Amino acid sequence: MAIFSFIDMAIPRAVTQHLYNLGLIDKFGEIHVRYLFLQFLRFMIKRLLSHVQGIVFGKRTIKMGENPSPEVRKKGFNMCKDSVGGVWTDLPESDFQIQTLSGGLTNYMYLCSIPDHIEVPDNEPRTVLLRLYGSFVKQTKFLLQNSVVFALMSEKKMGPKLYGMNTEGRIEEYIPSRCLTTVELQNPTISREIARKLASIHALDMPLCKEPRWLFDTLESWLMDAMKLLRSANKKDVLLQRLLNYELENEYKVFLDILSSVKSRVNCPVVFAHNDLQEGNILYNENSADNSNTLTVIDLEYCAYNYRGYDIGNHFIEWCYDYTVQELPKFSFTPEYFPSREQQYVFFRAYLAASGKEDVTDKELAEIYEEVNTFILGTHFLWGLWSILQTKMSEIPFGYREYAVSRFEAYFDLKKRLGSFRAY
């Protein structure tokens, strides 16, 4: 088709040449990113032409010890063989090892490895991570943006190394580590390091829309879908009826007014944001020889330009949520874990120092405090809507109804206390 010829020859070359001119990638990176654009733009056009519509992505759910299906094993073997190169190229399929690490609507992750009896050169990996995307995709541009961001972060050495990808998933560096726990977020040393990592992400200049449209576009799209779901819900579904009674369409207008008010009082900068910095998205390597590499931020699914206050506030509220609970609803909410003003100031000082600002006044800290805690309303609203949608779209055993109620109850409670966060 002529449209694919245009994509192949014009769009990827024009975009990646622009990234090269900006100094974001080198010539090798230009070729690599051009290939990613080519693959995903072709995929996007095909999906649009066939009018395929999927579902909203979900947060990761750990599923340890499951055996991958033969289809997944074959897919992993072929992707590793094509992408990693070296010893992997000639590896017999009978020697290919694969183990499930975790799964969810967003990602299904597997550890792929070469057995010990096969010699592997020092400059080649014995183990890599296979990340397969969820079966359903609501917005095709999600894959395109996420893949380009991951490739650029990899080249900047701010994330795992990328070995290769296609429209179904990617092969990336396996970092021997573990995710942080909810309680560890309260550790002052860890909190300062997270602040420094977040500051380095916020300082990036990425080839994406610089306006904070992601937050409002996502909220409005999910709100429309969530209200349709709630209005058609069974009247006997107590929790969904409770959510319907919150009158979320009217509350969204209230939320916008609150944001407009805080932006008129304090500085609310827009940055390149992670937008989902919870403990499960932070890898902790206790054996790292370099203290600056103890933590690695992963899972860039929701990266976009957004308000700084939202990104920090989203991290703070995750201090209260634990997703490792074994019994339904599979999460716990402990509001007492929410960081105090003193704990937040520790984070702010480390963040600002990493941003090049050592001398911070009490007035500046108070303004950031108001900025961040006000934007937490947005994180509750977004993940509350996300959870409503998951009640119909997800097969993962998780208390999505309970989680949605928890987020909106926390939203309304926080709204009552906004006056206590005022800077002046």
| Spatial CB neighbours of 59, under 8 Å, sequence gap ≥ 6 | 104, 106, 276, 278, 280, 323
Nearest residue to 385 (alpha-carbon basis) of 201, 255, 206, 257? 255
How far is 309 from 302, CA to CA, in rounded Å?
16
Residue extents of the structural domains in the chain = 2-49, 70-174, 179-421
How confident is the model at residue 134, as a pLDDT? 65
How far is 196 from 347, CA to CA, in rounded Å?
9
How confident is the model at residue 315, as a pLDDT? 98
Q: How far is CA 122 from CA 86, 125, 385, in A?
A: 11, 8, 47
Query: Which stretch of DSSP H or E encloses residue 228?
Result: helix 213-231
How confident is the model at residue 67, as a pLDDT? 79
DSSP 236: T
* Range with lowest mean pLDDT among 30-39, 49-58, 204-213, 253-262: 49-58
Domains 70-174 and 179-421 alike in fold = no
Q: How far is CA 391 from CA 107, 159, 379, in A?
A: 18, 32, 19
Residue 63 has pLDDT above 50, yes or no: no
What's the average model confidence in pLDDT over 102-131? 87
Query: Which stretch of DSSP H or E encloses residue 271?
Result: strand 270-273
Reported as a single tens digit per residue, the pLDDT across 358-407 is 899 999 999 999 999 999 999 999 999 999 999 998 877 899 999 999 99
H helices then E strands: how many in the chain?
A: 13, 12
How does strand 107-113 pair with strand 97-103? antiparallel
Reported as a pLDDT band with limits 50, 70 and 90, residue 40 is low
Query: Which tokens sit at 290?
Result: 């370099």
Residue 224 has pLDDT above 50, yes or no: yes
The maximal CA–CA distance of the chain, rounded, in angstroms, is 68
DSSP 126: S
Reported as a single tens digit per residue, the pLDDT across 182-193 is 999 999 999 999
**Residues in the chain, total:** 424
How confident is the model at residue 34, as a pLDDT? 52
Query: Which stretch of DSSP H or E encloses residue 108?
Result: strand 107-113
Residue 14 has pLDDT above 90, yes or no: no
One-letter identity of residue 112: C
What's the average model confidence in pLDDT over 414-423? 96
Calculated CA dihedral for residues 346, 352, 358, 363, nearest 10 degrees:
-70
Residue 278 has pLDDT above 70, yes or no: yes
What's the average model confidence in pLDDT over 231-240? 97
Query: Which CATH number among 3.30.200.20, 3.40.50.300, 3.40.50.2300, 3.40.1260.10 corresponds to the domain 70-174?
Result: 3.30.200.20
Residue 118 φ then ψ, to 5°: -100, 125
Residue 312 has pLDDT above 60, yes or no: yes
User: Cβ of 174: how many Cβ atoms within 10 Å?
Assistant: 19
pTM of the model: 0.78
One-letter identity of residue 42: R
Residue 144 vs residue 313, higher pLDDT = 313
How confident is the model at residue 102, as a pLDDT? 64
**Three-state secondary structure string covering 278-307:** CHHHEEECCCCCCHHHCEEECCCCCCEEEE
Q: Tell me which CATH code domain 179-421 carries.
A: 3.90.1200.10
